[in-house]
Structure 1
Amino acid sequence: MPRWVNRPEGSNWGDFGADDQLGTLNLIGAPERRAAAQEIRDGEAFCLSLPLDLPGAVTLNPRRKPPVLQPTFLEDTPYINYALANVDPILRDVLSDDQVLLSTQYSTQWDSLAHVGALFDADGDGTPERVYYNGYRAGEDILGADAEGDHGSYAHRLSVCEMAKTPVQGRGVLIDCLRHFGPGRTLVGHEALQDVIAAQGITLKRGDIVLLRTGYAEALRDMQDAPDPAALDATGAVLDGTDEALKNWLSTSGIAAIASDNYAVENPHTDPSACCLRLPLHHHCLFKLGMPLAELWYLRELAEALEDRQRHAVFLTAPPLYLPGAIGSPVTPVATI
């Protein structure tokens, strides 16, 4: 039986196949990767991740906690600076081994397509149900927290591991909103975004991954010794997810994903009287288009290098962790120019 009878207006459900779990990442194929490799001219590489213990001094999401590193244990023995001479006097090995408890979306991250769904009448019976991209179902494909016997594996479909299999690699294109608008909070709709693209001479191609620099992650990193949440909330030119023209452009642009340096990519819609989405851009991208979003990437040094060279494109490698069932993933993106 098909998973859906109705698909959301403006969505691409089924366009990449009835069982598709990659969405717009399907737009990156061998030709796009070969073309992206041509952006490597200097051989200089940039890490686009924050240290994964940031946001650190500033709480961005109270559900997400900083990583906790600790030794691995054999019974009650911690294996940090552990001398195997304790086991056999003739051995000279000293071992250190650790493990981590972390929120997969605490710091530099990918959102999988299982991250945001919606109440939508996919069955056509007049009753909305909890569904995700391409009609995958809550309780069947994305299990609840009370699922038994799954050892915390919730996303049986649309997990980040599908993105890892691909993997995520292609042409990254920097749109430098910080350079265009300055560091203050600015809502960026379609018209403003096109102004930046034109002013910076940017050309977007099929399968590109947009790297959106707002300055937010840079401010977050700079203020660790003197946290200022109010100043951070007023930082960065963020996408306006309520702008229909922007969403329509994303639907037709041919881009494969958006990776931003700010928290949430868009400006969260906080008006309690407004209907009906707190994160309308997440709804449009993740739920309707299957377009992955990434948050809290670090773009300062890359942006400076590209500006010096009057360039905007890079060869980007950014697969999430191959962690079956995970809904989000930390990532260490690498841009090579």
Structure 2
Amino acid sequence: MSDEELPAVFEAVSNWGRWGADDERGTVNLITQEVTARAAAEIREGAVVGFGSIDLSGSLASAEPQTRHVMLKDGEDVGAGYASATDFVGIDYHGVHTSHFDALCHVFYDGRMYNDRPAGLVRSTGAEANTIEAFRDGIATRGVLLDIPSLRGTAFVEPLSPIVPEELDAALAAQGTDIREGDALFIYVGRSAHRAAVAGEFVDGALQVAGLDASCLPWLHAKGIAVLGSDGANDALPRRGGAERVPVHVGAIVYMGMPLLDNAALDALADACRERSRWNFFTAITPLAISGGTGSPVNPLAIF
């Protein structure tokens, strides 16, 4: 999809005002109590798969700040009686290292953020609207995973071959599952297999990771997806051309009000789905309620 086509697409998928002028939850409003109650019926075995990850090693070899893990107290020299260990973790979670949940104040377009609020409400002291605190009650809904490498017959999706809407429909048909309004949709691209094959994801300082083409935005809107996630960045990077670097982030977060889960660790979840030939499950995502925060590290759960 070209840059010239994007403004019309953004306008077509906009949810500004749909849930009122004061709304800060966006598509999570689609997850009603009834949707959550129905989703609980997906729990049949009680098997739980966590799909969050934080890279503490710097093994992704990116140019962004590494996660910092410092032991403040350890157990190497403790004596008799009570003792404890404590540590400090500092995370630049908006990037490629950490599974994280984007708040609706994370992305701007033409100086605006979700629900037509000015970008200036995100100040040097923190955000004053659309913050991660809007999701303090968590996300509890039906999850669906689409296995695009299996659909393509490959180990991973190539970054320069973005996923298009027809493939989303084809994956649903091949897996024998469906989408229901209020679902959380997880797109598996086989990122770890790609990383192993190319020995690094950064070429000349640019991240190369598979994801969706912007043409998928109307599909996501029409299906009533509440949350979108991937083991990649959701956007296909780098784009083949154009100035709009992350159109899926812009269309989803700014216009639809759809929070995104980036860098999910989906290998184990994809394996669990393949073993069961079952691609839907109950999912729970519980971001930290960081005051003024633009997102949060997360360890989402899938429960079969």
Question: Structures share a fold, TM > 0.5?
Answer: yes
Report the counterpart of residue 168 of structure 1 in structure 2.
139
Report the counterpart of residue 175 of structure 2 in structure 1.
200
Deviation at 1:288, TM superposition (A): 0.5
Report the counterpart of residue 25 of structure 2 in structure 1.
22
Report the counterpart of residue 88 of structure 2 in structure 1.
99
Distance (whole Å) between structure 1 residues aligned to residue 129 and residue 68 of structure 2: 28
Report the counterpart of residue 5 of structure 1 in structure 2.
none
Distance (whole Å) between structure 2 residues aligned to residue 177 and residue 214 of structure 1: 6
Q: Is the 8 A contact 1:47 1:335 kept in 2?
A: yes
Q: Is the 8 A contact 1:107 1:330 kept in 2?
A: yes
* Counterparts of residues 20-99 of structure 1 (less than 5 Å): 20-53=23-56, 56-60=58-62, 62-63=63-64, 65-72=65-72, 79-81=73-75, 92-99=81-88
Deviation digits for residues 137-158 of structure 1, max 9, x if unmatched?
Answer: 222x211x3xxxx3xxx11211
SS at match of 2:264: coil
* Counterparts of residues 204-283 of structure 1 (less than 5 Å): 204-220=179-195, 227-229=199-201, 236=210, 238-241=211-214, 243=215, 246-262=216-232, 264-268=233-237, 270=239, 274=242, 276-283=243-250
Q: Is the 8 A contact 2:61 2:202 kept in 1?
A: no
Report the counterpart of residue 137 of structure 1 in structure 2.
118
Q: Is the 8 A contact 1:83 1:94 kept in 2?
A: no
2:150 aligned to which of 173, 179, 189: 179
1:29–1:161 distance in 2 versus 1, CA, 3 Å: same
Q: Aligned letter for 1:213? A: Y
Q: Is the 8 A contact 1:83 1:95 kept in 2?
A: no
Deviation at 1:321, TM superposition (A): 1.3
Q: TM-score, normalised by structure 2?
A: 0.85
SS at match of 2:162: strand
Q: Is the 8 A contact 1:269 1:280 kept in 2?
A: no
Deviation digits for residues 101-152 of structure 1, max 9, x if unmatched?
Answer: 1112231111111111111xxxxxxxxxx1100122222x211x3xxxx3xx
Q: Which runs of 5+ in 1 are unaligned?
A: 1-7, 73-78, 86-90, 120-129
SS at match of 2:36: helix
Deviation digits for residues 192-247 of structure 1, max 9, x if unmatched?
Answer: 22122222212100100001111004544x57xx93337997764x2112x2xx22
1:235–1:131 distance in 2 versus 1, CA, 3 Å: closer
Runs of 4+ that moved beyond 6 A: 82-85, 230-235
More helix by share: 2
Distance (whole Å) between structure 1 residues aligned to residue 190 and residue 78 of structure 2: 48
Deviation at 1:252, TM superposition (A): 1.5
Q: Is the 8 A contact 2:208 2:238 kept in 1?
A: no
Q: Is the 8 A contact 1:187 1:240 kept in 2?
A: yes
Q: Do residues 115 (structure 1) and 106 (structure 2) align?
A: yes
Q: Is the 8 A contact 2:148 2:157 kept in 1?
A: no
Report the counterpart of residue 158 of structure 1 in structure 2.
130
Q: Which runs of 5+ in 2 are unaligned?
A: 1-9
Q: Is the 8 A contact 1:50 1:298 kept in 2?
A: yes
**Range 179-188 or range 26-35, more displaced:** 179-188
What is the number of residues matched between the two proteins?
Answer: 286
Q: Do residues 336 (structure 1) and 303 (structure 2) align?
A: yes
Q: Aligned letter for 1:9? A: E
* Counterparts of residues 254-333 of structure 1 (less than 5 Å): 254-262=224-232, 264-268=233-237, 270=239, 274=242, 276-333=243-300
Q: Aligned letter for 1:80? A: D
1:218–1:81 distance in 2 versus 1, CA, 3 Å: same
Aligned CA RMSD, in angstroms, stands at 2.5
Q: Is the 8 A contact 1:217 1:296 kept in 2?
A: no
SS at match of 1:277: coil
Distance (whole Å) between structure 1 residues aligned to residue 298 and residue 201 of structure 2: 25
Q: Aligned letter for 2:229? A: A
1:271–1:31 distance in 2 versus 1, CA, 3 Å: same
Report the counterpart of residue 126 of structure 1 in structure 2.
none
Q: Aligned letter for 1:331? A: V
Distance (whole Å) between structure 1 residues aligned to residue 150 and residue 213 of structure 2: 18
